[in-house]
């Protein structure tokens, strides 16, 4: 059960929604470091970006599990979602490995549009680069509709198509969306996740973005029953602590028990990573 703390402008938006104020970079970094200190010790892996904390987390050995560095450069309006990504060429993967990273992660926004091949090539470059640097590669595909085609968008089918295309590049781990946003009976989710498992030839985990916090444990259980090897999630664990006056205390009171519960689900139902 791994924790994601690599949100950047999205985290700033979450602070604005929680507090009504625009926060500075130091506030973002402070929250990320609090999550690393309080929640990180209970996670098997911890994902963070270079801009707001990787160096500190690595240098101070804050997390005992595997440290994952985000290498995606995000194209995102100040008040909107991530619309596209690329590889941050300023990040030295070999240096990240020397600093303590065991893996790198790349987010790709998958759309059935004219940029589909370019994104696939970007993913291939990422997987090769990680292998050359001695890092595991975590490839995350998030399927979104083409602008103007939202009403015809078949979410579960797009998630499967993205997964089949990107996971075929053989990353060390594929990070997948939960079909139907987790808003379905567990058996339905398990069926959808089984269809997803059929097209992914590598170990895979689920993310929590787009899933209601209370729905996420059942979604993780459904995914693991269908073949997933766990979760790499952020919002479902710590989102309601954003803007708290005492984040460390709230993380201990709210987020740690959530992660412990999710880890128990993973331990009970997940497919071992080395089984695929």
Active site residues: 175
> Which structure tokens are listed for 49?
């970006």
> Which structure tokens are listed for 172?
């060390």
The residue with tokens 């590049």 is 169
**Residue ranges of E strands in the chain:** 2-5, 45-49, 66-70, 72-76, 82-87, 101-110, 136-143, 173-176, 204-206, 232-233
Tell which residue, 74, 69, 34, has the closest CA to residue 54. 69
Exposed, middle or buried, 101 (CB in 10 Å: 0-12/13-18/19+)? buried
State the DSSP code for 172: S
How many CA atoms, within 13 angstroms, populate the side-chain half-sphere of residue 33?
A: 18
The string of DSSP letters for 111-140 reads: -SSTTHHHHHHHHHHHHHHHHHHT-EEEEE
CA 52: distance to chain centroid?
16
């Amino acid at each position: 059960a791994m924790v994601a703390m690599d949100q950047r402008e999205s985290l700033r938006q979450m602070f604005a929604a929680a507090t009504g104020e625009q926060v500075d970079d130091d506030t973002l970094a402070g929250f990320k470091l609090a999550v690393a200190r309080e929640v990180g010790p209970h996670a098997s892996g911890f994902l963070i970006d270079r801009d707001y904390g990787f160096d500190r987390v690595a240098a101070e050995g804050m997390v005992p599990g595997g440290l994952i560095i985000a290498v995606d450069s995000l194209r995102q309006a100040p008040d909107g979602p991530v619309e596209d990504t690329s590889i941050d060429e300023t990040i030295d993967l070999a240096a990240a490995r020397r600093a303590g990273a065991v893996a790198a992660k790349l987010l790709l926004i998958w759309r059935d549009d004219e940029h589909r091949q370019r994104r696939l090539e970007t993913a291939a470059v990422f997987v090769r680069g990680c292998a050359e640097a001695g890092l595991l590669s975590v490839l995350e595909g998030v399927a979104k509709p083409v602008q103007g085609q939202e009403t015809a968008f078949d979410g579960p089918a797009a998630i499967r198509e993205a997964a089949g295309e990107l996971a075929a590049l053989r990353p060390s781990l594929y990070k997948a969306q939960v079909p139907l946003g987790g808003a379905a009976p567990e058996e339905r989710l398990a069926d959808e996740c089984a269809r997803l498992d059929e097209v992914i030839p590598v170990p895979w985990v689920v993310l929590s973005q787009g899933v209601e916090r209370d729905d996420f444990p059942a979604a993780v259980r459904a995914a693991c029953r269908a073949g997933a090897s766990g979760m790499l999630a952020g919002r479902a664990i710590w989102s309601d602590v954003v803007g708290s006056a005492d984040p460390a205390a709230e993380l201990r009171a709210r987020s740690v028990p959530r992660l412990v519960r999710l880890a128990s689900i993973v331990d009970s139902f997940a497919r071992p990573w080395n089984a695929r």
